[in-house]
Amino acid sequence: MKEDFLHYLWRLARFDLRDLRTTTGEPVTIQQFGVLNTNAGPDFDDARLRIDGLHWAGKVEMHLRSSEWYDHGHDSDPAYDGVVLHVVLEEDRPVFRRDGSRIPCLELRHRIPAGVRNTYWRLLHNAYWVPCQTQLQRVPDPLRALWLQRVLAERLSARSSTFAGHVEACGRDWEEAFYRTLARAMGGKVNGEAMEMLACSLPLRVLLRHKHSLLQLEALLFGQSGLLPGPEADESPYVTQLRREYALLAVKHGLSPLPTSAWRFLRMRPNNFPTVRIAQLACLLHRSGQLFGKCLAAADARELRNMFEVSLSNYWRDHYRFGPVADRSPRRFGESAIRSVLINAVSPAYVAYARLRGDDRYRDRAMALLESLPAESNSVIRRWRSLGWAAASAAESQALLELKAAYCDASRCTSCSVGCALLNRTDADDAPRLTLNEEAQVYRQAG
């Protein structure tokens, strides 16, 4: 059992409220359960209680066992002086404030409806990919839609904070921040970090001084990436020219290349090789040095999509990497790569812009953009679809990715609307009984 189960029970009053008494026998009436505190400090603020006829207003702290008060060092922390009630699964030790007064304690272990406890236990202790997957089909559509919207908002908020961090780190230069975010998005899951490192080590303002020459942009980006082969490995005229340009420009701008080991080629589709992505980035910057400005000005998803549609320079039309010649075809930034940039770079940038500039239109545009794009296709989204939760758009696929990573994998079912709905509709008698073995485990874990 986890402490957040107690939060759930308290927040939604899902325990037996009849004849409440502290562990020392004083009657307790709860007038206001308070507000869950998601920052440091006691778990609930602004609770209002009557204990033994006296009115109390203040904070409520929760633990599985009362002795955790001391384990967590609350006995010496002034932030906990205002705790008016200690709610625990079990009191194994009396708890005192710093002034020596005993904190009233309420035990819940005999007050949890069996059905609720069993449903919770089954959510936490099964080996399913999504612990509630056998019940997903029973989740009403409006609940699913509202919850996914909320999870998407959380994901966008976290990503926009990362973007805002870039804006600050770049001295409020939005174009520079967007260039870093774009580079990361173009690198995808495998080479995103290396692409961001490349962008951080080679500022946009340096690249824009050479924007007129695609060859110089390629020389800067490939030279700085560390992927440019030495003369012993490649003597072709194009690569020799890149080497010569980079040697001059590196001295001029004080650059030193990244280690080659930063990049991954193994088990990747050739179209996603970092060499192809770097060549595409060079083309994008050659075409426009004001990509973020253009994103802000774009009228709709189609205009945005067209912005990122680039064809590569001659060498890269029949190479996936330096050296071996491949089939000759126009190496375009494909549909799924463009979609990934719109999802992972443009929409968080819009949300950050809306937040930092106080312009909510861009938050709406981020949502509209995600809703207009088709859902992503990856193993997580396919798995959700096989469970009956197919994503209808990128907004939903992003929400499902977040739900899996931030809630299901972290066993945060009591903070999830689906989990709360499953627990809420469980009455004492309508849940299947636990087996004796399971029952024993519940008590072992609860201590």
Judged by the rule CB under 6 A, the positions of this chain that interact with ligand SF4 are: 123, 130-132, 403, 407-408, 412-413, 416, 418-419
Which of left, alpha, beta for 226 (phi over 0: left; psi -120 to 50: alpha)? left
For the bound state, the minimum distance from the C-beta of residue 14 to ligand SF4, rounded and expressed in Å, comes to 15
The residue among 394 and 413 lying less far from ligand SF4, judged by its C-beta, is 413
Instruction: Note whether 338 and 326 are within 8 A (CB).
Output: no
Query: At 220, which amino acid appears?
Result: L
Task: List residues bridging with 90 in a β-sheet.
Answer: 65
Residue 3 token pair: 């402490």
Nearest to 63 by CA among 103, 82, 91: 91
d(CA 314, CA 411): 51
The residue among 406 and 446 lying less far from ligand SF4, judged by its C-beta, is 406
The residue among 155 and 286 lying less far from ligand SF4, judged by its C-beta, is 155
The residue among 186 and 413 lying less far from ligand SF4, judged by its C-beta, is 413
Q: Would you give the distance in Å from CA 274 to the centre of its chain?
A: 24
For the bound state, the minimum distance from the C-beta of residue 159 to ligand SF4, rounded and expressed in Å, comes to 20
d(CA 203, CA 119): 54
For the bound state, the minimum distance from the C-beta of residue 177 to ligand SF4, rounded and expressed in Å, comes to 33
For the bound state, the minimum distance from the C-beta of residue 132 to ligand SF4, rounded and expressed in Å, comes to 3
For the bound state, the minimum distance from the C-beta of residue 406 to ligand SF4, rounded and expressed in Å, comes to 9
The residue among 207 and 418 lying less far from ligand SF4, judged by its C-beta, is 418
The residue among 135 and 241 lying less far from ligand SF4, judged by its C-beta, is 135
Q: What sign has the CA pseudo-torsion 312, 314, 320, 321?
A: negative
For the bound state, the minimum distance from the C-beta of residue 133 to ligand SF4, rounded and expressed in Å, comes to 7
Q: Three-class SS of residue 18?
A: coil
Q: Three-class SS of residue 361?
A: helix
Query: At 332, which amino acid appears?
Result: R
For the bound state, the minimum distance from the C-beta of residue 127 to ligand SF4, rounded and expressed in Å, comes to 12
Place of tokens 């824009």: 208
> Could you give the C-alpha distances from 293 to 15, 30, 304, in angstroms and in order?
55, 55, 11
The residue among 355 and 412 lying less far from ligand SF4, judged by its C-beta, is 412
